[in-house]
Amino acid sequence: MRRLVLGAPLPTYAAGHQTLRKRMALPIFASDPLSSVAYAPQELLLILAGGGLAFIGYTPWIAAAVILLLTVVVVSYRQLVRAYPSGGGAYTVAAKNLGESASLIVASALTVDYVLTVAVSVASGVDNVISAFPALHEWRVEFAIVCVALLVTINLRGVAESSKAFALPTYLFIGSIGVMIVVGAFRAATGNLPLAESAGYTLQHHDLARAALAFLLLRAFASGCSALTGVEAIANGVQAFKPPKARNAQATLVAMGAVAVSLFAGVTYLALKTHVLYTANACDLHGFANCDTKAQRSVMAQIAASVFGGHHAVGFYAVQATTALVLFLAANTAFNGFPLLGSVLAHDRYAPKALLARGDRLVFSNGVIVLGTAAAILLLAFRANLNLLIQMYIIGVFVSFTLGQFGMVVHWTRQLRRGDTVHRTTRALHVFRAINFVGAATTGVVLVIVTITKFTHGAWVVFAIMPVLWLLMFRVNRYYGAVADQVAPDAVTRFGSAGDYAVVLVHTVNKPTLKALDYAIAADHKRLAAVHVAAEPELTESLRAAWRALEIHVPLTVLESPFRDVSSPLVEHLERDRTLHGSEVVSVYIPFYVYGHWWEGFLHNRKSRRVRHRLQLCPGVAVVLVPWLLDSSQSLYTRPARPLPGLERRGLTALPASRKITTQRRFHRPIQR
Amino acid sequence: MRRLVLGAPLPTYAAGHQTLRKRMALPIFASDPLSSVAYAPQELLLILAGGGLAFIGYTPWIAAAVILLLTVVVVSYRQLVRAYPSGGGAYTVAAKNLGESASLIVASALTVDYVLTVAVSVASGVDNVISAFPALHEWRVEFAIVCVALLVTINLRGVAESSKAFALPTYLFIGSIGVMIVVGAFRAATGNLPLAESAGYTLQHHDLARAALAFLLLRAFASGCSALTGVEAIANGVQAFKPPKARNAQATLVAMGAVAVSLFAGVTYLALKTHVLYTANACDLHGFANCDTKAQRSVMAQIAASVFGGHHAVGFYAVQATTALVLFLAANTAFNGFPLLGSVLAHDRYAPKALLARGDRLVFSNGVIVLGTAAAILLLAFRANLNLLIQMYIIGVFVSFTLGQFGMVVHWTRQLRRGDTVHRTTRALHVFRAINFVGAATTGVVLVIVTITKFTHGAWVVFAIMPVLWLLMFRVNRYYGAVADQVAPDAVTRFGSAGDYAVVLVHTVNKPTLKALDYAIAADHKRLAAVHVAAEPELTESLRAAWRALEIHVPLTVLESPFRDVSSPLVEHLERDRTLHGSEVVSVYIPFYVYGHWWEGFLHNRKSRRVRHRLQLCPGVAVVLVPWLLDSSQSLYTRPARPLPGLERRGLTALPASRKITTQRRFHRPIQR
């Protein structure tokens, strides 16, 4: 069962870099951008419907603008991959060309975006499931939260993104939507395409002033731009591609762009042909019964029902299932993309160094939990309402687009100034710069439009959170700088400790204590004492008796502890010793248990950890940890390495956790003389 | 500000036991039992109202039965305090007299009870706040969750229960309810007491069969029994009293019982005089407008309004405020009582040993979080509905009452059999046994009544959870037994390691590394090597250069790391060395940072911790931790000790965390030769 869910354990010797073929990279990186086809046409229609039926006629123009923008961004990002094949995307470009402040703006925008990718994708996925099973409408929020919890669990357990289970749904989605578009277009051409279920409803008619009209069209465009989310994923993950990395990433980017444009255009076309209506508030649809308690079916669901012949057709269920699946996959990509961004930030000292390290499960777990919790809070706060969540979504995307492309313009300009024409002609550099300038200008204009049209609808939240994240990363960087200054070797500090005193901390006579004592004897310290703190008087007596019975020659020093506390008497003893023997190095031997189950941690070890923390503050003391392996620790030797989130996007595989130790397990038990 | 919230830091030398005067112990232990006056009369009335107006007339009889039961339990518990002054209550009595199974039933019942104390008290507190501010009704669940979160935060930060802030509200509650009863009785005697706002409503009339009538009365009695919750708190916390501990605890118990009886009788009397109606479903009250969206005011609120002249009278607000406050305090007692039970269970090896240890903040934090989360889940699942939550509440209470009293009967019988009449006459022992037998029989009968009348109304949840807890504690006990067997010294295992090789793990040349090297040199090992794992090639070159520049004479061994992993090459190196030099003890010196802020943990140390975990599994290796104190660690020396939840109930105070170290801070810096 476990193998079925997680895949076979990685062979422990097969470590190192693992790269992705294009046909695997496409589904992994493209589930996020392609899945936006599920909500972008709907959001576009929704805003237009707010103005009345007449406005739906503007749909083709706005869709065309979105497609043009998508093309510009894809072409522009091709340049970015070419120039920065090491990956890192807009952040790296901004950092190298625009300086610290701009790069941190991009980093905080991307962070916000990852949270929203999870929230929006899950909300849309839930919408599409509800469209197929309307009875679930009542449990919308709970359902969404359960989905996020599931994603968190999957990523905490560890799963390889490159497994076929992750690639298949994206291809199925492309396939099912493709079939829907082809069948729909054929039926439309033969005059045989039924209208959508909402085509019969009427809309409130609004008389809008010319200014309001323009604003409405801009808002519709801004909402349609949600089709562009996720395009940057490939540029961030170039390292995951098979060589030639940059070339392959570019090809995949173009393929992804072509598919995204086709699907977006096809779905929008069918939405118009089937006369789908979709409104922010279901009760604005005159004729829609029980609008208070029933949910509108998603645009995708209505189209699928029209094309394939109703809500019980196989085709309808296929489209809904693959749409929901690819949306959950898109949410999952955020859990992999976030650590990728984190590792780049960590390299530049803007995020915890541990994000760089391979195999620190704890740190990655924290990241997964933070991301999931933030998304869950958003889903709770906005009742898993896609239309509300999407208002916040694309701000971050366009901030990073604009700054990334602008950074590229600076990049090419610098190359031109340096006259770096060894690899490329001046003419080519001019063309490249022009492409990126168009990209920067276009996305910049869109960012302004999006901000203006969405600010009061919820986008202000993003503008409130981004400065906080910015400051956090800035402070982390300065903290690392301060620590580096503190520990840098200097001419003033001189080392040269003397003295060698060892203390074995004895709580009771058991094998772990005897082992610690044995190690201390073997290390042949100049002075050695066994020290017991008499926190429990009855224990002390039995200890003295056992000490005599075992004929241990190391003297047993018993320290009084009036307050039943272990560390204070020990610290005082060490301080007394220090006044007698001068400043010396004291090695305190502390035995501790090694165990194999996480829950055993709740049952052991706390006391010795507390003593250790106290001794850290004691001058001249080093703590020697002598492990005792409980039987349960056996499982540690054979535990297979599980992949961490984001590892594959960085072109890495899981660490070989248990190489070579396997055979030597019993060796660690006390050695016979 | 911090001082205002948490109180002045404890003087670091004032460690040891701290005991409570009766006048402080009463409010601390009695907020739980006394606060039940806020809901017990209401629940009693609610069940009777379910049968129709005519049934309200049975109220005095049922209230009298509850008061009789309360008296029996208090008298019976007086005996328990007398016999087991060490505290522990029903659990200890059951463990000593009825064996393991019974004691674990009590322990799991009490655990369930602590969770329900939080949930029920918070739900009732929220009810009373809403009665004063009806607009909050919409946010009932959110409000309740915020209250639980607040309690968790307070207890995570640490706060002394014996501070005046905790004693005052209980006295204010007793005072304000007392005044209400006196004023109400006077106005009733003078024929001047207005009826409650619900007195004008009518109830659905039910024609009940005789059997249903009897069942309804039993259910009303069972609900009224919620007045008895919390009575056991004093018996659990005898150690917290000033000597003579048992005598003082008994006196406090009796005082608490007398106050509880008076308040319960008084509130029930006023409820009858003001003709309060309260139903499970607000819409059963004919005449109550907007019953779908509005909440009924609590019985306490309706009485207070009648007595003090309306919903804007000062007296009304005073009663509601003190009632809500004492209920939140009652919820807080669970956070202190739970660790107390935990420490007794830990002593008997049924719970993590760490619960015994004083000052392990992490463990107590986990307990606080678990308790808070469980209560929050209950509040969420039952929409903070007091009537639903209370169905589950008193099962646990009466399980522990019955088994505790039954254990006392066995206790006195054993004393009689042993003829232990040194301290007491045989006659006295017979009387004692009779008292406890009456207690056991009565509470046993009530337990049966409560189970039968409430099982289908939600009590089954408790019966589902208790076996799980029982098994958990049983397994923990058996686990500790198995570990003790594993580590017990035996004649077969022989110690006698030889060889003394030391390795200093070098990542880069900085002060912490130089200090570790310095300590290793001082310890004068037979062989010493500095080992660097070349995970990052560019770092290795600069390290070699620095090594030469500083003229360090310890040889630097560089290990290749093709997979950029630190631990595997190190482990392989140690194994190679072992094959060359035979089984020997290897001390691996690892420098690490000591810092003063919790958040610095996210920015440091992960890599060395991972290496350490890997080395634990390596035969013959002991890890030597050499601390480097960052500037921020300064705060560790002067940090005041904060009290842990439950500490005071065990008659303890916070540990003196920073005794004596304060003056020697700078000493730990590298010593000048």
Instruction: Report residue B652: phi and psi, to 5°.
Output: -120, 165
Flag whether A512 is in a domain: yes
Q: Which residues of B touch A376 (CB under 8 A)?
A: none
**pLDDT tens per residue across span B356-374:** 766 667 677 778 888 999 9
Task: Name the residue type at position B164.
Answer: K
pLDDT confidence of residue A316: 92
Query: Does one domain contain both A429 and A385?
Result: yes
Q: Which residues of A touch B600 (CB under 8 A)?
A: 479
pLDDT confidence of residue A6: 39
DSSP B582: -
Residues 352..391 of B with a Cβ closer than 8 Å to A: which? 352-354, 357-360, 362-363, 366
Beta carbons of A619 and B664 less than 8 Å apart? yes
Query: Does one domain contain both B193 and B141?
Result: yes
Q: Which domain CATH number covers B633?
A: 3.40.50
| Residue B527 at interface with chain A, using a CB cutoff of 8 Å | no
Query: Does one domain contain both A469 and A532?
Result: no
What mean pLDDT do residues B76-102 have? 87
Q: Which residues of B touch A569 (CB under 8 A)?
A: none
d(CA B43, CA A163): 57
Residue A526's CB is within 10 A of a number of other CB atoms, namely 13
Query: Does one domain contain both B390 and B518?
Result: no
pTM of the predicted model, to two decimals? 0.80
- State the pLDDT confidence band at B341, using cuts at 50, 70 and 90: confident
Q: List the single range of A222-231, A462-471, B417-426 with lowest mean pLDDT.
A: B417-426
> Taking 70 as the threshold, does the pLDDT of residue A127 lie above it?
yes
Q: Identify which has the larger pLDDT, A504 or B6.
A: A504
Question: How is residue A68 written in tokens?
Answer: 């043009």
Last residue within a domain, chosen from A478, A508, A528: A478
- Cβ-contact A30, A251 below 8 angstroms: no
Instruction: Give Dmax over CA atoms of chain A in angstroms.
Output: 102
**pLDDT tens per residue across span A543-601:** 999 898 888 889 999 998 876 778 888 999 998 888 888 778 899 999 999 988 888 88
Q: Nearest-CA distance from B405 to chain A in Å?
A: 31
- State the pLDDT confidence band at B327, using cuts at 50, 70 and 90: very high
Contact partners, residue A450, CB within 8 Å, separation at least 6? A222, A225, A394, A395, A398, A459
High-pLDDT (> 70) share of chain B, %: 91
Instruction: Report residue A503: phi and psi, to 5°.
Output: -125, 130
Q: Identify which has the larger pLDDT, A490 or B41.
A: B41
What mean pLDDT do residues A473-478 have? 95
> Taking 70 as the threshold, does the pLDDT of residue A70 lie above it?
yes
pLDDT confidence of residue A470: 96
Among B357, B486, B587, the residue with its CB nearest the CB of A606 is B357
pLDDT confidence of residue A83: 86
Q: Nearest-CA distance from A672 to chain B in Å?
A: 5
Burial of A606 (C-beta count, 10 Å sphere; 0-12/13-18/19+): buried
Nearest residue of A to residue B550, measured between CA atoms? A489
Residue A19's CB is within 10 A of a number of other CB atoms, namely 18
In 3D space, the residue among A138, A611, A124 whose CA is nearest the CA of residue A384 turns out to be: A124
- Using CA atoms in the order B82, B85, B91, B92, what is the torsion angle rounded to 10 degrees? -100
Flag whether B486 is in a domain: no
Query: Does one domain contain both A470 and A506?
Result: no
Beta carbons of A565 and B500 less than 8 Å apart? no
Question: How is residue A196 written in tokens?
Answer: 């959508």
Substitution target from A624, A631, A650, A665 for chain B, most B beta carbons within 10 A: A624
Residue located via tokens 């804007």: B312
Flag whether A317 is in a domain: yes
> Taking 60 as the threshold, does the pLDDT of residue A7 lie above it?
no
Question: How is residue A554 written in tokens?
Answer: 């190391």
Contact partners, residue B598, CB within 8 Å, separation at least 6? none
Measured in whole angstroms, the distance separating CA A188 from the mean position of its chain's CA atoms is 42
pLDDT confidence of residue B422: 66
| Residue B518 at interface with chain A, using a CB cutoff of 8 Å | yes
Query: Does one domain contain both A296 and A164?
Result: yes
Q: List the single range of A562-566, B253-257, B334-338 with lowest mean pLDDT.
A: A562-566
pLDDT confidence of residue A5: 42
d(CA B63, CA B58): 9
**pLDDT tens per residue across span A508-542:** 898 999 999 999 998 889 999 999 998 877 889 99
Q: How many CA atoms lie within 13 A of B242 on its CB side?
A: 9
- Cβ-contact B15, B154 below 8 angstroms: no
> Taking 80 as the threshold, does the pLDDT of residue B6 lie above it?
no
Q: How many domains does chain B have?
A: 2
B387-406: string of b/e by CB count within 10 Å (b at 16+)? Answer: bbbbbbbbbbbbbbbbbbbb
| Residue B640 at interface with chain A, using a CB cutoff of 8 Å | no
Q: Which domain CATH number covers A439?
A: 1.20.1740.10
pLDDT confidence of residue B407: 93
Q: Identify which has the larger pLDDT, A246 or A650.
A: A246
pLDDT confidence of residue A143: 92
- Whether the upstream peptide bond of residue B27 has omega within 30° of 0, thus cis, is no
| Residue B12 at interface with chain A, using a CB cutoff of 8 Å | no
Flag whether A490 is in a domain: no
DSSP A36: G
Q: Which residues of A touch B564 (CB under 8 A)?
A: 358
Flag whether A491 is in a domain: no
Contact partners, residue A595, CB within 8 Å, separation at least 6? A601, A604, A630, A632, A633
Query: Does one domain contain both B508 and B441?
Result: no
Kindly report the CA angle at B27 between B25 and B31, in degrees rounded to 5? 125
- Cβ-contact A180, A308 below 8 angstroms: yes
Q: Which residues of B touch A616 (CB under 8 A)?
A: 594, 625, 627, 629
> Taking 80 as the threshold, does the pLDDT of residue A421 lie above it?
no
> Taking 80 as the threshold, does the pLDDT of residue B93 lie above it?
yes
Query: Does one domain contain both A422 and A569?
Result: no
Query: Does one domain contain both B390 and B350?
Result: yes
Question: How is residue B223 written in tokens?
Answer: 């609900």
DSSP B347: H
**pLDDT tens per residue across span B614-624:** 898 888 899 99
Beta carbons of A511 and B493 less than 8 Å apart? yes
- Cβ-contact A75, A439 below 8 angstroms: yes
User: Do strands B556-560 and B527-534 pair parallel, antiparallel, or not at all (unpaired)?
Assistant: parallel
pLDDT confidence of residue A651: 73
Flag whether B665 is in a domain: no
Quote ipTM for the complex: 0.81
> Taking 70 as the threshold, does the pLDDT of residue B293 lie above it?
yes
Alpha helices in A274-385 (DSSP H): 299-308, 314-347, 361-381
User: Do strands B285-286 and B202-203 pair parallel, antiparallel, or not at all (unpaired)?
Assistant: antiparallel
Q: List the single range of A125-139, B56-70, B228-242 with lowest mean pLDDT.
A: B228-242
Q: Which residues of A touch B628 (CB under 8 A)?
A: 487
Q: List the single range of A233-237, B101-105, B655-659 with lowest mean pLDDT.
A: B655-659
| Residue A576 at interface with chain B, using a CB cutoff of 8 Å | no
Q: Identify which has the larger pLDDT, B623 or B3.
A: B623
**pLDDT tens per residue across span A370-411:** 899 999 999 988 888 888 888 888 888 899 999 999 999 999
CA distances from A534 to A502, A613, A626, B352, B488 (A): 19, 20, 22, 21, 20
Query: Does one domain contain both A522 and A457?
Result: no
Among A522, A627, A667, the residue with its CB nearest the CB of B499 is A522
Beta carbons of A656 and B563 less than 8 Å apart? yes
Residue located via tokens 């906080």: A468
Beta partners for residue B288, in sequence order: none
Alpha helices in A237-313 (DSSP H): 245-273, 299-308
**pLDDT tens per residue across span B185-199:** 999 999 888 888 888
pLDDT confidence of residue A536: 78
CA distances from B467 to A66, A440, B112, B402 (A): 60, 64, 11, 18
In 3D space, the residue among B207, B458, B172 whose CA is nearest the CA of residue B327 turns out to be: B172
What mean pLDDT do residues B11-21 have? 53
User: Do strands B621-629 and A202-203 pair parallel, antiparallel, or not at all (unpaired)?
Assistant: unpaired
Residues 603..632 of B with a Cβ closer than 8 Å to A: which? 603-604, 606-607, 610, 612, 616-631
- State the pLDDT confidence band at B531, using cuts at 50, 70 and 90: very high
Mean pLDDT for all residues in chain B = 85
Flag whether B119 is in a domain: yes
What mean pLDDT do residues B519-547 have? 89
Query: Does one domain contain both A426 and A555?
Result: no
Tell me the count of A-B CB pairs closer than 8 A: 259
**pLDDT tens per residue across span A242-271:** 888 888 999 999 999 999 999 999 999 999
**pLDDT tens per residue across span B214-254:** 888 888 898 888 888 888 888 888 888 888 888 899 999 99
Question: How is residue A391 written in tokens?
Answer: 């208002």
**pLDDT tens per residue across span A157-194:** 877 777 777 888 899 999 999 999 999 999 999 988 88
Query: Does one domain contain both A446 and A533?
Result: no
Measured in whole angstroms, the distance separating CA B374 from the mean position of its chain's CA atoms is 12
> Taking 50 as the threshold, does the pLDDT of residue A668 lie above it?
no
Q: Nearest-CA distance from B383 to chain A in Å?
A: 14
Instruction: Report residue B624: phi and psi, to 5°.
Output: -105, 115
Kindly report the CA angle at B114 between B112 and B116, in degrees rounded to 5? 70
pLDDT confidence of residue B587: 93
In 3D space, the residue among A441, A449, A446 whose CA is nearest the CA of residue A76 turns out to be: A441
Q: Nearest-CA distance from A68 to chain B in Å?
A: 44
Flag whether B415 is in a domain: no
Task: Name the residue type at position A665.
Answer: R
> Taking 90 as the threshold, does the pLDDT of residue B482 lie above it?
yes
| Residue B568 at interface with chain A, using a CB cutoff of 8 Å | yes
d(CA A182, CA A265): 12
Beta partners for residue B503, in sequence order: B529, B588
**pLDDT tens per residue across span A305-315:** 999 988 888 99
High-pLDDT (> 90) share of chain B, %: 36
- Whether the upstream peptide bond of residue B467 has omega within 30° of 0, thus cis, is no
**pLDDT tens per residue across span B261-270:** 999 999 999 9
- State the pLDDT confidence band at B655, using cuts at 50, 70 and 90: low
Q: Nearest-CA distance from B151 to chain A in Å?
A: 21
What domain range includes position B564?
A: 500-638
Beta strand extents in A415-480 (DSSP E only): none
